[in-house]
A and B are shown apart, each in its own frame.
Chain A
């Protein structure tokens, strides 16, 4: 029997071959992931920096609050900016309640059945439908069949149909994050499902729900295809500075479509204007996203379990 295995103090903590290899791989992997993260951030910074640089000559409050002029070769963004706000707000007013309540039903009330399976399947698949397909559906369903004509209402409803599945999915995630044991505890105390939802489930998921809804603002604001056949026009002058200048049964301009138009359809546009339009579009979206991020941080600090 070999009992004289000796470990000398000098060699005990010197690095073995395997140890060296592990340390090397560890470093390589860390740098690899860091590079990937940078690859994600660098283009974003470049895009925003380039846009700001190019847009600087035109950017001003006046740019935001005056209508486009000279066949959209000069002037500001008021009509398309307000149009985008109308489209986003109306579409969310429709999509957010329906989406949130549908998700509450699916997650809190519905039992596993063919109905819920089909609904969940529809939600997943609708989220993957290209926006141009939603546009065609909007033309058929809202503009023609429902007789809304090309209007803010028809365009907003089309956007709502497009954002609905994602709102349902994000709300479901937020509801699922509330531990099942809370619900069981409530039921054991003789609470109804509704009392459980109102007192425990919703208060503890509302921030997640709102974050999901707010993130859809950026999607609705950025889409061009669903609105160009259903309610957005190339040009329409409205009263400057009046927040109620649009009527939802009429057509409107929109930032995304405006950007497309002045970049590709109108010759001799003042150089800064398309960039300024892009800055306003990206800036508004980032502002709204920032709100949702702040909301999320706020929730984390006062998480209750």
Chain B
């Protein structure tokens, strides 16, 4: 089985401050990889490296390599194409100040798609995938920013799906939404797994346990351990710190 993403020797510094200290691991196709760890452990930075949006942070320097389908992402000429291959959902829901329809149609349009029937089809499919369609289908013209937090987060997910990504990265998506909505989105993710690879950064250890096939534990910019979720959450993971974190002894 070929790896979807191969990360080797990845180091990131913000100025002099290290964020990731030489991390190496692989992501398998169609898996949900849970990424857990306390704040400041480099989880968000990792996602920003993968879709190269870290380039918008001027003081950040990156060493090491990230390969998507065996191709080094630094050698991909069209960085916008790379970002469309990777869906990104940020911690706080961000409805763009556009209509619900335009929110979801944003990425296809920036990629050059103009035909109305195709856009309609994408908008409906993505909103349905994100379990939002039934709530908003009668008011696609109203502002995305006027939706509730949980709806906006599902809108964000629909938007991330609109450019048909191969990898979906979720950065603590449930931080600002209620448990019921969280459970609905978790169900969505399980369905999406058949179509794409999912990187799930989460502060909720139990969420990783529920969803992830494998789990990686980060601490202070180091990858402490990566293994199947069963092992990570068992009585004897390879590293004592993993056990302590997962069981709430620290962090």
Contact = CB atoms under 8 A, between A and B. Distances in A.
Interface of A: 111-112, 181-182, 184-192, 195, 199-200, 203-204, 304-305
Contacts of B96: 182, 185-186, 200
B24 to A, nearest CB: 25
Contacts of B80: 190-192
Contacts of A181: 90, 92, 94
Given A195-B110, A204-B97, A305-B97, A189 B83 contact: yes
Contacts of A111: 58
Contacts, number: 68
Interface in B22-53: 51, 53
Nearest to A200: B96
A182 B94 contact: yes
B116 to A, nearest CB: 18
A163 to B, nearest CB: 29
Contacts of A186: 96, 106, 110
B167 interface: no
B181 interface: no
Contact of B156 (A185, A203, A305): A185
Give the interface centre of A182, A203, A204, A304 by most chain B CB atoms within 10 Å: A304
B66 interface: no
Interface in B72-104: 80-84, 88, 90, 92, 94-98
A190 B97 contact: no
11 contacts: A181-B90, A182-B97, A184-B53, A185-B159, A186-B96, A186-B110, A189-B83, A189-B84, A190-B82, A204-B97, A305-B97
Contact of A188 (B98, B111, B160): B160
B185 to A, nearest CB: 17
Nearest to A195: B110
A212 to B, nearest CB: 20
Nearest to B111: A190
Contacts of B90: 181, 184-185, 188
Contacts of A199: 98, 106, 110
A189 B163 contact: yes
B159 A189 contact: yes
Contacts of B250: none
Contacts of B56: 184, 187
B83 A190 contact: yes
Interface in B135-166: 143, 145, 156, 159-160, 162-163
A186 B103 CA distance: 10
A203 B96 CA distance: 12
Contacts of B162: 189
Nearest to A303: B97
A188 B106 contact: no
B188 interface: no
Given A199-B106, A200-B97, A304-B143, A188 B51 contact: yes
A200 B115 CA distance: 21
Contacts of B53: 184, 187-188
B107 interface: yes
Contacts of B106: 186, 189, 191, 199
Nearest to B87: A188
Interface in B160-195: 160, 162-163
A190 B94 contact: no
Contacts of A112: 58
